């Protein structure tokens, strides 16, 4: 252990101010970890020079897995030898990010023995991130984690660690059991997660209602977003209570409904449910009075991703409704067909959403055996360049 | 590899979540009826059975040492039967069955430096990426930007006084490991120069993979000193850094030219309006660590103008949609430039295609 503390004038600035400081965290880990100290030194250099000092890649990992570890090397390793190799381990989080204090301590003890003592709770995809260790520590860390009941998450061109919202554990709006579906799908695709088989990454997120607290629509290739098919449940006396407590139901609820399917006459709230798009606004405003219907399930959406490579995409509708108890089987069957098609036609580093952009949604639907339906588009095409399929349509 | 006698354990997946659920949650799983907001950062969820579970939410820096995690574990033992969770925005939550413990827990969290809040119409924690802490392609540091931005917006975390919820994200490059592209306000690290080809390239990189990695076809094969390498058509480069991810001999980092762009008006929730991407507000601000004053000033400006002008329940994007983009630029004082007009794929979809003009 070096006995001198790193000199970090710029970073010390970020120990000031009311928001909790990541610099304090690195210094705290540095009490027992030489790599955390060198991380701080290298970061100070980055702050001085205004540039990063990490190199990507290298084939590092644990025996038999092709993912779960991100190889990371310093480009100033001679200056900071304790972070010359500083690999990240992704550990699959428990669904909904629930823990007991004992589970947290177990993770801490393992990581203190084998790595920098620094974590992210959590990474962007949802994993527990163990930040920084050397190659020889990877396998022992992995096996100690496994003994404690934890496994690695996905990386590279794999089925990435699925994540989900808090769902039925603590939310009255959950339209399906997101934590269970997330867990079941994670268990079903351990091979696809640990041994990257795809053209590129594939992400899946389970949001139990259209509020989408896990950003499924923006951040997952397959977005499973809870919704309901029947009528919003209304507790009329609770509506009256909101009104007498001062809520302006006309202005704050009816006027903000995107389809104007609600009417308030001062006593009774009327809802044209067949015009409702299940946006959640009214339910969000009056959680005691309104609830999603009883015919619950999810809409399945495809193709969401961040910009790299061809530009960002939001997921779009693939199946407008699947009943909650049919979700697991339906999603597994769909994934089989989607992955088959993507395997066959996807280019290297082409996300499934970009493949759909390239070949067109109609060809993708043909490929996975789904019929086109109007729910899939915001409007039918407005250009007349139609690729008629002469043979199929009987044109001569 | 040395031979081991113990059989290796693989493919066991994550621990089953049930073993980490508070008994009250297990009992009322799927049977929650409604919730009440007791105070910023404090929820009460009421089950059909009449049971109540109380949630206390606190902000964290996401980057956490084992020492701090153990403090959280001790707090959970002291106040919430040992049960805790994290949210999708890196907040920490304690689950309590006894409301008497809420206030002492809040006080202890605040005393330890972890603010309680981040619920409803507060600004929640900033989703962010690794930055200079651990990323190879970062144009800036994410943790530092979050720290100085949240220092300035601290009161917006501990109070729920905005017109609607407001979600901020930071991504340190165009990879956007975080829902930056669908946030009310997004801070995005950008490079502005093409990659610098290193002489080591033929030795360390697979040339065909590298060429295929470029979204605009700007990387072309070339023979340099008798070895297979590449050239970059510089006008075609939009500085995404994809090439550097597949080839370490194409570094993008440039201290003088890397910096930040600011984006506004995105959302992922379906409430009222459809989910939408964030749009460009400021194309470039300098990388100015450790406190990035230009960035913080711009973010605070957007939040203040939004707080003053938006109607109740209007997210940033919904507010701008109503008042129009010209008015947004007028109110914020941000300059509208050629960079604000899209010239990549499907650009024409963003051109004003009606005579609906506000005067």
Angle at B65 between CA B59 and CA B69, to 5 degrees: 65
Smallest Cα distance from B355 to chain A, Å: 20
pLDDT tens for residues A215-255?
Answer: 999 999 999 999 999 999 999 999 999 999 999 999 999 99
Helices then strands (H, E): number in chain A? 14, 16
Question: Which pLDDT score, from 0 to 100, does residue A310 have?
Answer: 82
Lowest-confidence pick of A152-166, A194-208, B2-16, B265-279 = B2-16
Rounded Cα distance between B280 and B263, Å, is 4
Strand-strand pairing, A54-56 and A72-74: antiparallel
Q: What is the Cα–Cα distance from A20 to A27, expressed in whole angstroms?
A: 13
Query: Is B5 a residue whose pLDDT tops 70?
Result: no
Band of the pLDDT at B235, cuts 50, 70, 90? Answer: very high
Answer yes or no: are the C-beta atoms of B130 and A123 closer than 8 Å.
Answer: no
Q: pLDDT at residue A188 above 80?
A: yes
Mean pLDDT, residues B82-110: 98
CB pairs under 8 A between A and B: 362
Number of C-beta neighbours around residue A121 at 10 A:
24
Which pLDDT band holds residue B359 (cuts at 50, 70, 90)?
A: confident
Q: What ipTM was estimated for this complex?
A: 0.96
* Three-state SS at A135: helix
Sign of the alpha-carbon torsion through A238, A242, A248, A252: negative
Q: Which of B271, B279, B321, B346 to mutate to test the interface with A (most CBs of A within 10 A)?
A: B271
B contacts of A94 (beta carbons < 8 Å): 14-17, 20
Q: Which range is least confidently modeled, A32-41, A55-64, B179-188?
A: A55-64
Q: Please report the pLDDT score of residue B245 as a whole number.
A: 85
pLDDT over 70 at A152, yes or no = yes
Distance from CA of A365 to the nearest CA of B (A): 22
Q: Is the pLDDT of residue A296 over 50?
A: yes
CB-based contact (8 Å) between B90 and chain A?
A: yes
| Residue A83, token pair as written in the block | 């972070």
Average confidence (pLDDT) over A111-120? 98
| End-to-end C-alpha distance for chain A, whole angstroms | 83
CA A389-A394-A395 angle, to 5 degrees, is 75
Q: Over B267-284, what HEC string results?
A: ECCCCCCCCECCEEEEEE
Is it the case that residue B145 has pLDDT exceeding 60?
A: yes
Q: Is the pLDDT of residue A168 over 80?
A: yes
Q: E strands of chain A, at which residues? A: 54-56, 69-70, 72-74, 87-91, 98-100, 118-121, 128-133, 163-164, 204-207, 222-228, 233-234, 262-264, 269-271, 290-291, 296-302, 316-323
In percent, the amount of chain A with pLDDT more than 90 equals 91
Scanning B91-110 for CB atoms below 8 A from A yields 92, 95
Confidence of residue A4 (pLDDT cuts 50, 70, 90): low
The tens digit of pLDDT for each residue in A77-91 reads 999 999 999 999 999
Residue showing tokens 């404690």:
A148
> Hey, are the CB atoms on A285 and B313 less than 8 Å from each other?
yes
Beta bridge partners of B259: B190, B286
- Nearest CB among B6, B69, B115 relative to A108 is that of B69
Mutation for B interface: A121, A285, A301, most B CBs within 10 A = A121
Q: Note whether B301 and B332 are within 8 A (CB).
A: yes
Average pLDDT, chain B: 94
Q: What is the mean pLDDT of residues A371-394?
A: 88
Say whether B181 and A312 touch across the interface (CB within 8 A). yes
Residues B285-336 have pLDDT tens digits of: 999 999 999 999 999 999 999 999 999 999 999 999 999 999 999 999 999 9
Residue A360 reports pLDDT greater than 80:
yes
Q: What is the percent of chain B with per-residue pLDDT over 70, rounded to a whole number?
A: 98
Contact call for residues A154 and A90 (beta carbons, < 8 A): yes
Distance from CA of A266 to the nearest CA of B (A): 21
What tokens appear for B143 in the block? 């943790």
- For testing contact with chain A, the best of B76, B133, B191, B321 (most A CBs within 10 A): B133
Tell me what pLDDT residue A387 has.
Answer: 87
Return all residues near B333 (Cβ < 8 A) that are at least 6 apart: B301
Query: What's the whole-number average pLDDT of chain A?
Result: 95
Distance CA B261, CA B266 (A): 15
Considering only A344-348, B7-11, B94-98, B351-355, which range has the smallest mean pLDDT?
B351-355
Confidence band of A395 (pLDDT split at 50, 70, 90): low
């Amino acid at each position: 252990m070096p006995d001198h503390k790193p000199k970090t004038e710029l970073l010390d600035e970020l120990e000031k101010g009311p928001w909790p400081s990541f610099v304090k965290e690195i210094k705290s880990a540095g009490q027992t970890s030489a790599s955390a100290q060198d991380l701080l030194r290298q970061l100070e250099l980055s702050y001085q020079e205004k540039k990063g000092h990490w190199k990507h890649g290298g084939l590092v990992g644990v025996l038999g897995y092709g993912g779960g570890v991100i190889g990371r090397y310093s480009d100033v390793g001679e200056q900071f030898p304790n972070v010359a190799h500083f690999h990240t381990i992704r550990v699959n989080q428990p669904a909904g990010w629930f823990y007991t204090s004992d589970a947290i301590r177990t993770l801490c003890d393992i990581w203190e023995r084998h790595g920098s003592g620094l974590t992210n709770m959590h990474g962007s995809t949802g994993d527990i991130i163990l930040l920084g260790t050397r190659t020889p520590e990877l396998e022992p860390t992995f096996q100690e984690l496994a003994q404690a009941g934890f496994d690695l998450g996905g990386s590279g061109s794999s089925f990435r660690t699925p994540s989900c919202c808090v769902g039925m554990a603590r939310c009255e709006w959950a339209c399906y059991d997101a934590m269970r579906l997330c867990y079941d799908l994670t268990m079903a695709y351990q091979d696809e997660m640990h041994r990257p088989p795809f053209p590129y990454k594939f992400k899946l997120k389970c949001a139990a209602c259209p509020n989408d607290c896990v950003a499924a629509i923006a951040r997952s290739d397959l977005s499973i977003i809870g919704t309901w098919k029947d009528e919003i449940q209304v507790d009329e006396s609770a509506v009256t209570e909101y009104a007498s407590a001062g809520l302006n139901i006309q202005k704050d609820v009816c006027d903000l409904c995107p389809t104007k399917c609600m009417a308030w006459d001062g006593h009774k709230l009327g809802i044209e449910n067949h015009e409702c798009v299940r946006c959640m606004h009214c339910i969000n405003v009056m959680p005691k009075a309104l609830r999603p219907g009883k015919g619950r399930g999810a809409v399945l959406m495809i193709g969401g991703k961040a910009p790299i490579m061809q530009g960002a995409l939001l997921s779009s509708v693939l199946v407008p409704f699947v009943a909650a108890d049919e979700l697991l089987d339906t999603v597994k069957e769909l994934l089989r067909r989607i992955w088959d098609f993507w395997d066959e036609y996807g280019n290297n580093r082409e996300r499934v959403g970009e493949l759909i952009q390239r070949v067109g949604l109609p060809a993708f639907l043909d490929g996975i055996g789904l019929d086109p339906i109007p729910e899939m588009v915001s409007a039918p095409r407005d250009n007349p360049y139609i690729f008629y399929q002469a043979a199929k349509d009987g044109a001569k | 590899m040395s031979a081991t006698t113990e059989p290796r354990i693989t493919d066991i997946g994550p621990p089953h979540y049930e073993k980490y659920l508070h008994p009250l949650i297990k009992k009322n799983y799927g049977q929650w009826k409604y919730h009440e907001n007791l105070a910023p950062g404090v929820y009460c969820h009421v089950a059909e059975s009449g049971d109540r579970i109380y949630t206390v939410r606190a902000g964290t820096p996401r980057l956490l040492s084992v020492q701090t995690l153990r403090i959280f574990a001790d707090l959970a033992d002291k106040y919430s039967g040992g049960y805790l969770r994290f949210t999708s925005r890196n907040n920490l939550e304690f689950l309590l069955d006894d409301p008497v413990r809420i206030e002492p827990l809040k006080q202890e969290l605040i005393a330890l430096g972890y603010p309680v809040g981040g619920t409803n119409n507060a600004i929640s924690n900033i989703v962010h990426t690794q930055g200079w802490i651990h990323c190879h392609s970062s144009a800036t540091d994410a943790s530092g930007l979050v720290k100085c931005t949240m220092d300035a917006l601290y009161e917006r975390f501990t109070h729920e006084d905005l017109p609607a919820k407001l979600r901020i994200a930071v991504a340190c490059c165009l990879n956007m490991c975080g829902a930056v592209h669908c946030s009310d306000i997004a801070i995005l690290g950008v490079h502005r120069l093409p990659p610098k080809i290193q002489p080591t390239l033929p030795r360390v990189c697979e040339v065909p993979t590298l060429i295929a990695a470029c979204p605009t076809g700007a990387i072309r094969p070339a023979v340099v000193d008798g070895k297979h390498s590449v050239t970059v058509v510089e006008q075609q480069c939009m500085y995404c850094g994809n090439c550097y991810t597949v080839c370490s001999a194409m570094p993008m980092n440039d201290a003088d030219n890397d910096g930040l762009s600011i984006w506004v008006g995105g959302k992922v929730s379906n409430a009222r309006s459809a989910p939408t991407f964030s749009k460009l507000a400021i194309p470039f601000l300098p990388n100015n660590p450790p406190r990035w004053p230009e960035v913080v000033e711009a973010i605070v400006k957007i939040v203040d103008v939004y707080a003053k002008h938006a109607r109740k329940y209007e997210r940033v994007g919904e507010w701008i949609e109503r008042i129009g983009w010209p008015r947004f630029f007028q109110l914020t004082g941000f300059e509208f430039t050629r960079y604000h007009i899209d010239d990549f794929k499907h650009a024409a979809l963003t051109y004003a295609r009606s005579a609906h003009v506000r005067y």
